C-alpha cells in the first residue's frame, strides 16, 4: 500500500507549483508498495496528474526511470537514490499507458529452450528464438548465461541456430543450424563454435536431418539421430500404415537411426540398422556403449523398447520386450543401470509416465517413484520453440525429474537409496527445461502465467535466482493480464481447478470458455499469447482442467469410452461457477472454443446446447470413424479413447461423433483447420462444415495451407496472426 504520508504530502501541494517540492520517502518503502489507494488530482503547471494512476501497476523495475513516481520535483521511489534526494525535472511526466496485446505481438516474446550446463557449472548455453513477422519465420541464436548473475551474452547471430551442447572440456559449443540451408530445402547441419567467440565451423550437413546430438565423454565423437531412406517427392507407393506423421509429412519409407561422427577422422558411421525407428540415444559414461530407445512395431508405434549397442563392434542387446512406452533414457553414474521415463499402460493412454530403472545386463524394469502424478510437462503454451529438455538427470545418488501437479510443473529429486522423492522447485510455475550437476541446478520456467526466464537453484539459503530478463520488459510496455486461479466442487464431488483472465474493460464482458487439447494435457501457469490477445480485446477467458486432464490422479485423467460425459459436465459447471462468482462475466454473451480434443468438445457442446452465442472449433474431430482411418494415430488412439474399432461397434463410434447430431446445432460455428494436419485430418472440418451448411446452419470454415496440427504454437508467424484475427472477427461479430 502507498503510505499515507506520501499521499498527504502530494495532496498538500495541490495548488502550488511542484518544481521546488520534494518528498521524504521512508527508507523501507520498496517497489512492491506502489499500489493504487485512491485518486488525488494534482495540478502541475497546466498538467493534471492522477497520483493513483502514477502508482498503478503490478511489477515495477527500480532501475527503470519510467517506473518511478513521475511527478515533477518529487523524487522517484528508487532504491539507488538517497532518501529525500530531489529529481531535477522541470516538466510533468504523464503516466505510462501500457499497450494492449495484439496478435502481431507474437514477435515480442523470447522463446527460451534447450539449456546446456558447463562441466564446472559456471555457465549455461541456451537457445533463444523469436518470431520475425516480415520474414515469416523464427530466428534462433545461442546465448551464454553465467551462473554468477553477471548477465547473458549473445554467442551466435546467424538467426538459424538451436540445440546447443557444451563439450566435455567446456570450451566448445556444438549446435544444429540451418544457416547454410535454403528456405525451401530440407535438412540441417552440425556446427562447432569456440566459447570465447569466433567463426562457427561446419562439421556435417544432412538433408535427412540431424537431431539428438550428444558429445561422447572424451569429446572426440558425436552421436546423433538421422533418417535413412529416400523421400519420394511425387508418386508414392505405400506398403505400411503410419505412413505420415504430423509435422514430419510422409514417413512411410524412412527409418531413424543412430550415427556417430568421429571428429578426428571426419567420418560418419551408422550404428543401428533395420526396420526400427530410434527416438532417443545416450552414451555410457565410459563411452563404450550407447543406450537407445526404438519403436519396433508398425502396428503399435506407441510401444518402444530399450537397447544397448557396443559403440565399436555394433553388437546389440535388447533389454525390454514390447510392453512399455519408453520416452527417455539416461545412465547411472557407474554405468550399471539405466533410468527412463515410461509406462506400462494400466489405463491405456490415460496412464501416467513414471520413473523406471533397469540393469544394464537386463532384467525386469523397476518403478522408482510412487507418485500418482505424471512425470512430464503437458501444460498448454504457445510460446515454446525447440526441445524442452526435461528428461530425468541422474547425478551422484540422486535423480532429478519434473512432475505435473495441477496447473504447475515442479522439479523433484529422488534419492536412489531409499527412493524418497522431495520437492526441489515448486510454486506457481511451469518448469520447462532443466540441467543438473553436483550442487547446481538450472532451469527455464514460466511463473504465474508470465513468459519464460532462466533461473539457477542453489540449495540451503541460496534459493532461486533469476539469471535472465529476456521477457521482463513485456509487463512494462504491454498490459499483460494476470490469471486468477479458482477451484470448485463438481456435482459429483470432485474438485476442478481453473483460471480466468479478466480484461481491463469494466462492467459486464463477453466470456470465452476455452478447452485444451489432449485430453491428457492441462492449463496452468504457462503463458498463452492467444489468451492475452482475447483479453486485450475485451473478452474474459475461462479455462479449466476438467476430467481427462493431466496434473492429477490417473483416475481423474481416465475418460476413455466416456468422451462428452463427465468432461462435458465439468466444463458447463465451470461456466456456472464463473457466472456466480465473477460479476463481470456476461451470461448472455458466452462463447466456446478449443483445439484438437478441445475442438472435439466444442463440436460436441454445440450439438448439446445453445447456451453459447458463438463457437470456434480448431483442428478438431467430428467423426470418429474417419479419424480412425486418416489420423497418424487413429488406429490405436481412437480404439483406446472410444473403446472400439468402428466396424466392431458402429453404434458407439457414431454415438460419440458430433457429426451424428449436426442437426441440433444452433450456435454460429467457425471451423479452422490446417491442410497438412495429419493428427486430425482436415476432412474432419470439411465434413462437419458441409453438413452444417447442408442443413442451413450459420458456419464458416478457414483452411490454412502448409500448416499442421501445431499451427497455434509453431506455425508460420503470419498464419498464426491470421488465425487469431479469424477468432476475433467471429467473436466480435457474434458477441457485440
For the annotated catalytic residues, the residue numbers are 596, 709
Those residues whose C-beta lies under 8 Å from the C-beta of residue 573, and which sit 6 or more positions away, are: 488, 490, 491, 496
State the Cα–Cα distance between residues 189 and 210, nearest whole angstrom.
7
408: which strand partners? Answer: 405
CB 434 within 8 A of CB 115: yes
For 264-301, b/e burial (b = at least 16 CB within 10 A) is eeeeeeebbeeebbbbbbbbbeebebbbbbbbbeeeeb
| CA 458 – CA 464 distance, rounded (Å) | 7
Buried residues in 522-542 as b, exposed as e (16+ CB within 10 A): bbbbbbbbbbbbbbbbebbbb
Nearest to 653 by CA among 671, 675, 629: 629
Strands (E), 371-481: 393-395, 398-405, 408-415, 420-425, 429-437, 440-447, 453-458, 463-466
Q: What are phi and psi of 310, to 5 degrees?
A: -75, 125
Instruction: Provide the CB-side half-sphere exposure for 696 (13 A, CA).
Output: 0
Alpha helix ranges (H) inside 413-553: 474-477, 529-536
Q: What string of H, E and C letters represents the secondary structure of 83-94?
A: CCCCCCCCCCCC
Three-state SS letters, 452-470: CEEEEEECHHHEEEECCCC
- Residue 69 DSSP class: -
Distance CA 343, CA 638 (A): 19
Q: Judge whether 456 and 123 are in contact, CB under 8 Å.
A: no
How far is it, in rounded angstroms, from Cα 193 to Cα 157?
Answer: 12
Taking a C-beta distance cutoff of 8 angstroms, is the pair 544, 637 a contact?
Answer: no
Please answer whether residues 138 and 385 qualify as being in contact, where contact means their C-beta atoms are separated by less than 8 angstroms. yes
Look-up: residue for cell 486430425? 680
520534494: which residue's cell? 22
Q: Computed over its alpha carbons, how large is the radius of gyration of the chain?
A: 28
Amino acid at each position: 500500500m502507498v503510505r499515507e504520508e506520501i499521499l498527504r504530502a502530494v495532496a498538500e501541494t495541490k495548488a502550488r507549483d511542484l518544481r521546488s517540492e520534494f518528498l521524504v520517502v521512508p527508507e523501507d518503502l520498496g517497489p512492491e508498495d506502489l499500489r493504487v489507494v485512491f485518486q488525488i488530482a494534482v495540478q502541475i503547471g497546466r498538467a493534471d496528474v492522477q497520483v493513483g494512476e502514477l502508482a498503478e501497476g503490478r511489477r515495477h523495475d527500480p532501475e527503470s526511470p519510467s517506473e518511478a513516481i513521475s511527478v515533477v520535483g518529487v523524487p522517484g521511489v528508487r532504491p539507488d537514490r538517497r532518501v529525500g534526494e530531489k529529481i531535477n525535472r522541470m516538466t510533468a511526466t504523464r503516466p505510462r499507458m501500457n499497450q494492449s496485446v495484439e496478435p502481431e505481438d507474437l514477435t515480442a516474446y523470447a522463446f527460451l529452450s534447450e539449456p546446456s550446463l558447463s562441466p564446472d557449472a559456471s555457465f549455461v548455453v541456451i537457445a533463444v528464438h523469436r518470431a520475425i513477422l516480415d520474414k515469416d519465420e523464427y530466428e534462433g541464436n545461442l546465448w551464454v548465461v553465467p551462473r554468477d548473475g553477471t548477465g547473458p551474452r549473445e554467442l551466435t547471430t546467424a538467426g538459424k541456430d538451436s540445440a546447443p551442447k557444451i563439450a566435455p572440456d567446456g570450451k566448445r559449443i556444438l549446435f544444429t543450424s540451418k544457416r547454410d540451408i535454403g528456405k525451401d530445402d530440407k535438412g540441417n547441419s552440425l556446427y562447432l563454435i569456440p566459447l570465447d567467440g569466433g567463426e562457427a565451423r561446419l562439421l556435417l550437413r544432412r538433408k535427412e536431418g540431424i537431431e539428438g546430438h550428444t558429445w561422447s565423454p572424451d569429446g572426440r565423437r558425436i552421436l546423433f539421430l538421422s533418417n535413412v531412406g529416400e523421400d519420394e517427392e511425387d508418386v508414392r507407393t505405400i506398403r505400411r500404415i503410419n505412413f505420415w506423421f504430423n509435422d514430419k509429412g510422409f514417413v512411410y519409407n524412412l527409418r531413424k537411426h543412430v550415427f556417430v561422427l568421429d571428429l578426428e577422422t571426419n567420418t560418419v558411421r551408422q550404428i543401428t540398422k533395420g526396420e526400427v525407428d530410434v527416438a532417443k540415444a545416450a552414451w555410457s559414461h565410459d563411452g563404450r556403449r550407447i543406450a537407445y530407445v526404438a519403436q519396433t512395431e508398425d502396428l503399435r508405434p506407441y510401444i518402444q523398447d530399450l537397447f544397448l549397442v557396443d559403440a565399436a563392434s555394433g553388437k546389440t542387446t535388447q533389454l525390454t520386450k514390447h510392453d512399455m512406452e519408453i520416452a527417455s533414457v539416461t545412465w547411472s553414474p557407474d554405468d550399471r543401470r539405466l533410468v527412463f521415463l515410461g509406462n506400462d499402460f494400466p489405463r491405456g493412454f490415460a496412464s501416467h509416465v513414471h520413473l523406471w530403472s533397469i540393469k544394464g545386463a537386463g532384467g525386469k524394469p523397476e518403478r522408482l517413484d510412487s507418485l500418482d502424478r505424471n512425470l512430464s510437462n503437458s501444460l498448454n503454451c504457445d510460446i515454446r520453440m525447440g526441445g524442452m529438455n526435461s528428461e530425468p538427470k541422474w547425478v551422484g545418488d540422486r535423480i532429478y525429474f519434473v512432475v505435473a501437479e495441477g496447473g504447475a510443473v515442479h522439479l523433484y529429486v529422488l534419492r536412489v537409496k531409499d527412493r524418497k522423492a522431495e520437492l526441489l522447485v515448486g510454486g506457481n510455475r511451469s518448469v520447462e527445461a532443466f540441467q543438473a550437476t553436483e550442487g547446481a541446478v538450472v532451469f527455464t520456467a514460466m511463473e504465474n502465467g508470465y513468459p519464460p526466464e532462466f533461473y539457477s537453484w542453489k540449495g540451503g539459503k541460496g534459493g532461486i535466482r533469476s539469471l535472465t530478463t529476456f521477457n521482463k520488459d513485456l509487463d512494462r510496455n504491454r498490459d499483460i493480464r494476470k490469471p486468477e486461479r479458482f477451484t470448485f466442487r463438481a456435482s459429483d464431488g470432485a474438485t476442478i481447478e481453473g483460471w480466468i483472465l479478466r480484461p481491463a474493460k469494466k462492467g459486464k464482458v463477453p466470456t470465452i470458455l476455452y478447452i485444451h487439447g489432449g485430453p491428457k494435457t492441462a492449463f496452468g501457469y504457462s503463458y498463452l499469447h492467444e489468451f492475452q490477445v482475447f483479453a486485450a480485446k475485451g473478452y474474459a477467458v475461462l479455462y479449466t482442467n476438467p476430467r481427462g486432464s493431466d496434473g492429477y490422479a490417473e483416475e481423474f485423467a481416465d475418460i476413455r469410452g466416456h468422451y462428452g460425459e463427465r468432461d462435458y459436465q465439468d466444463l458447463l459447471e465451470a461456466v456456472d461457477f464463473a457466472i456466480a462468482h465473477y460479476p463481470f462475466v456476461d451470461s448472455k454473451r458466452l462463447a466456446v472454443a478449443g483445439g484438437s480434443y478441445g475442438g472435439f468438445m466444442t463440436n460436441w457442446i454445440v450439438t448439446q446446447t445453445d447456451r453459447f452465442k458463438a463457437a470456434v472449433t480448431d483442428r478438431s474431430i467430428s467423426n470418429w470413424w474417419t479419424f480412425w482411418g486418416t489420423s497418424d494415430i487413429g488406429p490405436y488412439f481412437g480404439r483406446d479413447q472410444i473403446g472400439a474399432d468402428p466396424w466392431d461397434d458402429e453404434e458407439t463410434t457414431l454415438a460419440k461423433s458430433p457429426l451424428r447430431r449436426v442437426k441440433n446445432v444452433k450456435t454460429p460455428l467457425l471451423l479452422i483447420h490446417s491442410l497438412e494436419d495429419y493428427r486430425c485430418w482436415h476432412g474432419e472440418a470439411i465434413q462437419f462444415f458441409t453438413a452444417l451448411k447442408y442443413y442451413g446452419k450459420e458456419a464458416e470454415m478457414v483452411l490454412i495451407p502448409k500448416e499442421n496440427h501445431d499451427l497455434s504454437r509453431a506455425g508460420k508467424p503470419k498464419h498464426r496472426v491470421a488465425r487469431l484475427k479469424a477468432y476475433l472477427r467471429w467473436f466480435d461479430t457474434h458477441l457485440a
